[in-house]
């Protein structure tokens, strides 16, 4: 696949990187709505959009650039304080994100012709930001008057020849450059006013400028922009010391860039000889003294700077400093390292990295977070690695067993030293293999933020639709879980949150009448609890009604009035996880709770997790989900069924009993077992797993399994013991529904199948239980 | 390998090309598959029966951490069961990027033959349905039955192997 002359790999990289930014953007935008004046956040959002736009313009994805640019314009107005982020502005911004996402989806499908975003939206966004644009026009006007002073010579004017794909984006990019220049001018003003703290913002703004300038691939512009960026990243300390030498050059650089941007806008190209200027800025950044002939008098004008830095011919010499004699110049050079030394020392104290550090260093000078060092790896490779590690662990166990055998066999023999070494070595192998296993598992872990980031938008939209006021508080998004868990957890969480917003949180007037704050709160919290991750979704809505749910459960024949009285609230609330418990008519009775909650429960159980529910009428509902960190490894009870060994997930096992003949009976010809107050359907593992008749054995043990509030007994021949097993998928190689969900490799190298508990319950249900 | 084995072999057209075959016995017939399709040959190992699996699938094995389905060729050909012995082997092959094992009575040899001695399959070779056969190799002293692995695994069975392979990540 080729898109606009770029191969699919570049597009793919763009999608991956920008896709992540887009997700982040959405979450940040919703957060921004709550904290309109958070300038840092606006800047973060702005930068993310800007990066997307920059990459998109490199790929000549014009429709994408158009909408990104429009949103950026709006945000720019917001960040300069000219525009308040009202809900309607936010709606437009979110609509823009949706448009971007549509375009991303199209790219993903390999389409080149991206859908243009709604022109009305683009116009609205552009209009919202127009205040800012006007400001730049003012700036441009003053700059023009300044320019007339120096346009006499030194620059070469060339016609502008851009390839079509770039030409289409020229307008945007020029606007970008001018916008960045505008910001830099503001910064320069602050610096002029003696506010040296403004230096800290330099790197951030300069890097935006660089991105815009890099697009054109014009050497002089790029050199200049990068020189400024370098100054912002690495030169803050040194530049404070050489303030009077840097500031005029900074103004001059902006002047040149502005001139070039304006020329570009008019379809011309102004080439400036910026080499000397860039070199001198770099010298200042490095904390080295300038040669004497390059030293500017205090308050030097742009015109003078242009002359001194050889940007225009030095026809009217007298204004410049008298040229240094060769001898003094040498003296200055020789002295420079010494002079520079104290400056560098000073910078070392406040900042651990050398002030003359190179560009590759993290940009913490500008107060930005240090970028994490990451490598993208295909999931397939990690899976291969996991497989190999599983095999390694297996072989390690075998060697351990063999070493112990050898130790026993060689006890007292002449060479028992050998077996001792073998034992020591196998113990070391054991540790290393264990560590590798943990390390590999960790590579598959991802923060839950990947999911949680999407939910503020979900809640915002739901609140908008229902007219409720809802605040979503997210905590613990940095909790890491296995990638597969993230994938499986998404849907259930959406379901639960939707339920909480839809049916849990009341309308503002109802809440007010009940003496609660008008704005409802849904709290989404994640935390590690041992080898489990716990996700709690709590709302302060109207809660569940025990009486109503209990009555419904009796009506549906799930329980009896007598039993109901003995049950705890939690046990009764569990009925909402029953399939079909909340049909349309019941929704109103049950205040709607429970729509699709059986799906939630099934998904959580698939992850070998549990879900519990607590609620207090009028106070709210709390759902607690506990899921193993990974579903690749789980705790299981190994059981024997005739000659075969099966693994039963421990998370589903309630207890294991050996029923007496009195406990066993049948209902409608199906075997059941009485266990205390319950009657459990029994499933013969021999039958369900088709064990050949001649190899069947008695199965006296009942493994009591639970799914939702249902229980059943699986009859097996023998209990072998609890094991930690590595789950390997088996897929569906059966015609009939089968109660096997996967396979695992045992310590002895053989394969055991894993019992699919959910399927067992389905089978039991098919029999009328 | 697919192209070589499943194309009708026209005598004379590909005379110069030779084939490297692995030959094995099932019920006293000698069969052959292209060596390029063969991953490895193992002694009989412990099989784990999979409930409700297709009849021909004897079970699954652990092949260095991967779970691989194993098919009994005798069952596939509808031949009577034979007790496994020291000679029994599992040939692991890759067919259309799916990995599967075959149980055979014994493995004989690796044999280079010229394509020119391969003839189209007759309607019936011994007791084997000709649909599984891509050709017959006429050696001076005996006949080789060249198996069409793709067709051997076709139909509903292939689907289930496919799913199994997908899920075990052998693709």
Looking at residue A591, its pLDDT comes to 40
What integer pLDDT is reported at residue B31 of this predicted model?
Answer: 93
Do the Cβ atoms of A730 and B49 come within 8 Å? Answer: no
Closest approach of chain A CAs to the CA of B85, in angstroms? 19
Q: Do B57 and A384 touch (CB under 8 A)?
A: no
d(CA A243, CA A284): 9
pLDDT at B123: 64
A384 CB neighbours in chain B (<8 A) are 169
Phi, psi angle pair for A445, to nearest 5°: -80, 140
Q: Give CA–CA dist B51/A536, Å, rounded.
A: 38
Which chain B residues contact residue A690 at CB under 8 A? 49, 51-52
Angle at A766 between CA A761 and CA A769, to 5 degrees: 65
- The answer to whether A545 touches A594, Cβ cutoff 8 Å, is no
Q: Considering only CB atoms, which chain A residues are within 8 Å of B159?
A: none
- In angstroms, the Cα distances linking A11 to A168, A208, A342, A375 are 19, 22, 49, 18
**Other Cβ atoms closer than 10 A to B116:** 16
pLDDT at A323: 41
Bridge partners (DSSP) of residue A447 are: A480
List of chain A residues whose C-beta atoms are within 8 Å of the C-beta of residue B165: 731
**Geometric angle at alpha carbon A253, from A248 and A254, rounded to 5°:** 100
> Which of A380, A731, A749 is the closest to B163 by Cβ?
A731
pTM: 0.52
Q: How far apart are CA A469 and CA A517, in angstroms?
A: 10
Contact A68, A86 (CB under 8 A): no
Where in A502-632 does DSSP place strands (E)? 520-529, 532-539, 610-616, 620-628
As a whole number of angstroms, the distance between CA A718 and CA A702 comes to: 10
Estimate the share of chain B in helix, then strand, then coil, as percent rounded to the nearest 5.
Answer: 20, 45, 35
Residues A198/A250, Cβ–Cβ less than 8 Å: no
- What pLDDT score was predicted for residue B10? 45
Are B65 and A387 inside 8 Å of each other by CB? yes
Which residues face A481 on adjacent strands? A446
Task: Provide, as residue numbers in chain B, all residues whose Cβ is less than 8 Å from the Cβ of A753.
Answer: 48, 50-51
Strands (E), A219-279: 268-272
Q: Does A730 sit within 8 Å of B48, measured CB to CB? A: no
Q: With contact defined as beta carbons under 8 Å apart, do B20 and B36 qualify? A: yes
pLDDT value at position A142? 40
And the tokens for A478? 């940095």
Cα distances (angstroms) measured from residue A567 to each of A50, A361, A711, B34, B83: 58, 63, 16, 67, 58
Question: In the numeric block, which tokens belong to residue A433?
Answer: 């293999």
Tell me the nearest-neighbour CA distance from A754 into chain B, angstroms.
11
Distance CA A18, CA A57 (A): 12
pLDDT band at B126 (very low <50, low <70, confident <90, very high): low
Hey, which bits of A540-652 come out as E strands? 610-616, 620-628, 633-641, 644-649
Tens of pLDDT, residue by residue over A695-728, are: 888 889 999 998 877 899 999 999 999 888 888 7
User: What would the pLDDT profile of B60-83 be if each residue is shown by its tens digit?
Assistant: 998 877 888 899 999 888 888 888
- Chain B residue with minimum CA distance to A728: B168
Set of chain A residues whose Cβ sits within 8 Å of the Cβ of B65: 387-388, 390-391, 394, 728, 745
Is the CB of B62 less than 8 angstroms away from the CB of A734? Answer: no
Task: Report the distance separating Cα A560 and Cα A553, nearest Å.
Answer: 8
3-class state of residue A48 by DSSP: helix
The rounded Cα B14 to chain-centroid distance in angstroms is: 23
- Looking only at the bridges linking them, the beta strands covering A710-716 and A678-684 are parallel
- Residue A191 to residue A240: CA distance in whole angstroms: 10
Considering only CB atoms, which chain B residues are within 8 Å of A696? none
List, in order, residues 6 or more apart from B143 with CB less than 8 Å away: B30, B125, B136, B137
**Which residues in chain A come in under a pLDDT of 50?**
1-4, 132-152, 316-367, 583-595, 732, 734-735
Q: Which of A240, A183, A236 is nearest to A365 (CA)?
A: A236
Q: Which two tokens stand for residue A718?
A: 């023998």
Task: Measure in Å the smallest separation between the Cα of B100 and chain A Cα atoms.
Answer: 13
The alpha carbon dihedral of A123, A129, A131, A136 has a sign of negative
For an interface test with A, the pick among B47, B62, B98 (most A C-beta atoms closer than 10 Å) comes out as: B62
Neighboring chain B residues of A394 at a CB cutoff of 8 Å: 65
Nearest CA in chain A to B171: A380
Interface test with A, best of B48, B54, B166 (most A CBs within 10 A): B48
Cα nearest neighbour of A393 on chain B: B65
Report the phi/psi class of residue A153: left, alpha or beta, with left for phi > 0 and alpha for psi in -120 to 50.
beta
ipTM: 0.75
- Taking the CA of residue A469 as centre, how many other CA atoms within 13 Å lie in the half-sphere pointing to its CB? 12
* Element at A326 (helix H, strand E): helix A326-350
Mutation choice for A interface testing from B43, B46, B51 by most A CBs within 10 A: B51
Residue of A nearest to B58 (CA): A733
Give DSSP secondary structure letters for A397-420.
Answer: HHHHHHHHHHHHHTTTSTTHHHHH
Whole-number percent of chain B with pLDDT over 90:
28
Q: What is the pLDDT of residue A350?
A: 41
Interface test with A, best of B52, B71, B156 (most A CBs within 10 A): B52
- Whether A104 and A19 have beta carbons less than 8 Å apart is answered as yes
| Rounded distance between C-alpha atoms, residue B107 and residue B120, angstroms | 24
- The percentage of chain B sitting over the pLDDT mark of 70, rounded to a whole number, equals 76
A751: chain B residues, CB-CB within 8 Å = 46, 48, 59-62, 67
| CA-closest candidate to residue A51, choices A17, A78, A75, A102 | A17
Report how far apart, in Å, the C-alpha atoms of A44 and of each of A183, A343, B4 are: 16, 32, 59
Query: Around Cβ A679, how many Cβ atoms within 10 Å?
Result: 14
Candidate from A380, A733, A745 with C-beta closest to B163 = A733
Residues B48, A738: C-beta atoms closer than 8 Å:
no
Chain B residue with minimal CA distance to A736? B52
Interface residue of A444, A740, A751 to substitute, partner B, most B CBs within 10 Å: A751
Q: Do A206 and A231 form a contact (C-beta atoms < 8 A)?
A: yes
What length is written for chain B? 171
Beta strands in A685-756 (DSSP E): 701-707, 710-716, 718-726, 728-729, 740-745, 751-755
User: Chain A: which residues have CB within 8 Å of chain B?
Assistant: 380, 383-384, 387-388, 390-391, 394, 644, 688-690, 728-740, 743, 745, 749-753
* Residues contacting residue A731 through CB under 8 Å, at least 6 positions apart: B163, B164, B165, B166, B167, B168
Average pLDDT of chain B is 78
What residue has token string 């599992």?
Answer: B90
E runs forming strands in A517-675? 520-529, 532-539, 610-616, 620-628, 633-641, 644-649, 653-657, 664-667, 670-675
pLDDT band, very low/low/confident/very high, at B103 (cuts 50, 70, 90): very high
DSSP B42-83: EE----B--TT--TTEEEEEEETTEEEEEEEHHHHTTPPP--
Which two tokens mark A262? 């304006």
Phi and psi dihedrals of A717, rounded to 5? Answer: -80, -40
Residue A728: both structure tokens together = 């390997």
């Amino acid at each position: 696949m080729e898109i606009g002359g770029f191969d699919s790999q570049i597009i793919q990289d763009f999608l991956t990187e920008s896709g992540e930014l887009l997700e982040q953007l959405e979450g940040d935008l919703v957060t921004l709505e709550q904290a309109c004046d958070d300038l840092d956040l606006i800047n973060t959002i702005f930068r993310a959009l800007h990066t997307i736009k920059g990459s998109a313009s490199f790929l000549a994805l014009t429709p994408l650039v158009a909408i990104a640019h429009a949103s950026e314009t709006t945000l720019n107005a917001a960040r300069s304080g000219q525009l308040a982020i009202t809900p309607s502005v936010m709606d437009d911004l979110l609509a823009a994100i949706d448009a971007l996402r549509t375009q991303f989806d199209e790219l993903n499908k390999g389409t080149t012709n991206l859908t243009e975003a709604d022109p009305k939206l683009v116009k609205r966004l552009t209009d919202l930001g127009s205040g800012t644009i006007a400001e730049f026009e003012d700036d441009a006007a003053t700059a023009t008057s300044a320019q007339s002073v120096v346009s006499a010579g030194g620059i070469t004017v060339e016609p502008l020849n851009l390839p079509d794909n770039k030409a289409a984006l020229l307008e945007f990019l020029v606007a970008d450059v001018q916008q960045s220049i505008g910001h830099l001018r503001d910064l320069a003003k602050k610096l002029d006013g003696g506010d040296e703290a403004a230096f800290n913002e330099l790197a951030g703004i300069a890097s935006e400028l660089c991105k815009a300038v890099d697009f054109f691939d014009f050497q002089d512009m790029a050199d200049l922009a990068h020189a400024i960026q370098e100054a912002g990243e690495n030169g803050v300390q040194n530049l404070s010391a050489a303030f009077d030498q840097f500031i005029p050059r900074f103004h001059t650089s902006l002047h040149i860039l502005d001139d070039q941007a304006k020329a570009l806008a008019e379809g011309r190209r102004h080439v400036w000889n910026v080499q000397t200027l860039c070199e001198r800025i770099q010298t200042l950044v490095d904390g080295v003294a300038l040669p004497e002939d390059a030293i500017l008098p205090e308050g030097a004008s742009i015109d003078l700077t242009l002359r001194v830095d050889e940007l225009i011919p030095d026809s009217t010499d007298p204004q410049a400093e008298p040229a240094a004699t060769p001898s003094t110049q040498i003296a200055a050079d020789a002295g420079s390292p010494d002079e520079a030394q104290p400056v560098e020392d000073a910078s070392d104290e406040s900042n651990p990295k050398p002030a003359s550090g190179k560009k590759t260093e993290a940009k913490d000078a500008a107060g930005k977070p240090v970028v994490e060092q990451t490598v993208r790896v295909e999931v397939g490779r990690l899976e291969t690695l996991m497989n190999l590690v599983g095999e390694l662990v297996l072989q390690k166990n075998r060697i351990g067993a063999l070493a112990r055998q050898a130790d026993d066999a060689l006890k007292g023999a002449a060479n028992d030293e050998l077996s001792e070494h073998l034992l020591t070595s196998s113990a070391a192998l054991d540790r290393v293999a264990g560590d590798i296993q943990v390390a590999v598992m960790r590579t598959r872990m991802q923060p839950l933020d990947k999911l949680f980031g999407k939910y503020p938008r979900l809640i915002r939209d739901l609140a908008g639709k229902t007219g409720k006021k809802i605040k979503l508080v997210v905590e613990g998004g940095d909790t890491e879980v296995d990638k597969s868990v993230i994938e499986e957890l998404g849907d259930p969480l959406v379901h639960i949150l939707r339920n909480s917003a839809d049916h849990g949180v009341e309308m503002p007037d109802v809440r007010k009448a009940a003496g609660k704050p008008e704005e409802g709160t849904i709290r989404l919290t994640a935390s590690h609890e041992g080898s489990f991750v716990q996700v709690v979704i709590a709302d302060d809505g109207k809660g569940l009604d025990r009486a109503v749910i209990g009555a419904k459960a009796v009506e549906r024949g799930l329980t009896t009035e007598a039993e109901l009285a003995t049950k705890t609230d939690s046990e009764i609330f569990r009925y909402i996880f029953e399939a079909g418990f909340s049909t349309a008519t019941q929704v109103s009775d049950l205040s709607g709770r429970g729509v699709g909650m059986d799906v939630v429960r099934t998904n959580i159980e698939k992850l070998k997790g549990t879900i519990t529910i607590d609620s207090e009428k009028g106070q709210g509902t709390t759902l607690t989900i506990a899921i193993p960190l990974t579903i690749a490894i789980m705790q299981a009870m190994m059981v024997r069924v005739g000659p075969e060994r099966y693994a039963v997930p421990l998370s589903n096992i309630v207890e294991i009993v050996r029923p007496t003949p009195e406990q066993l009976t049948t209902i409608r010809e199906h075997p059941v077992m009485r266990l205390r107050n319950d009657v459990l359907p029994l499933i013969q593992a021999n039958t369900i797993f088709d064990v050949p008749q001649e190899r069947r054995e008695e199965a006296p043990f009942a493994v009591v399994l639970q799914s939702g509030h249902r229980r059943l007994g699986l009859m097996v021949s023998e209990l072998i013991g609890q094991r930690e097993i590595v789950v390997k998928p088996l897929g569906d190689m059966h015609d009939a529904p089968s109660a096997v969900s996967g396979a695992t490799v045992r310590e002895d190298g053989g394969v055991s199948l894993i019992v699919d508990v959910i399927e067992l319950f389905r089978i039991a249900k098919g029999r009328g239980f | 390998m697919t192209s070589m084995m499943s194309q009708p072999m026209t005598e004379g057209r590909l005379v110069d090309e030779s084939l490297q075959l692995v030959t094995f016995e099932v019920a006293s017939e000698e069969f052959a598959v292209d060596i390029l399709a063969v991953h490895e040959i193992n002694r009989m190992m412990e099989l784990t029966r999979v409930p409700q699996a297709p009849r021909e699938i004897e079970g699954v094995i652990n092949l260095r951490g991967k779970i691989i389905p194993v098919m009994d060729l005798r069952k596939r050909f509808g031949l009577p069961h034979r007790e496994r012995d020291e000679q029994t082997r599992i040939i692991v092959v890759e067919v259309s990027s799916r990995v599967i094992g075959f149980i055979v009575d014994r493995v004989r040899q690796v044999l280079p033959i010229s394509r020119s001695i391969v003839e189209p399959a007759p309607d019936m070779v011994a007791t084997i349905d000709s649909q599984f056969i891509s050709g017959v190799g006429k050696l001076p002293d005996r006949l080789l039955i060249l198996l069409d692995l793709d067709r051997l695994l076709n139909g509903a069975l292939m689907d289930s192997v496919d799913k199994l392979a997908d899920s075990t990540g052998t693709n």
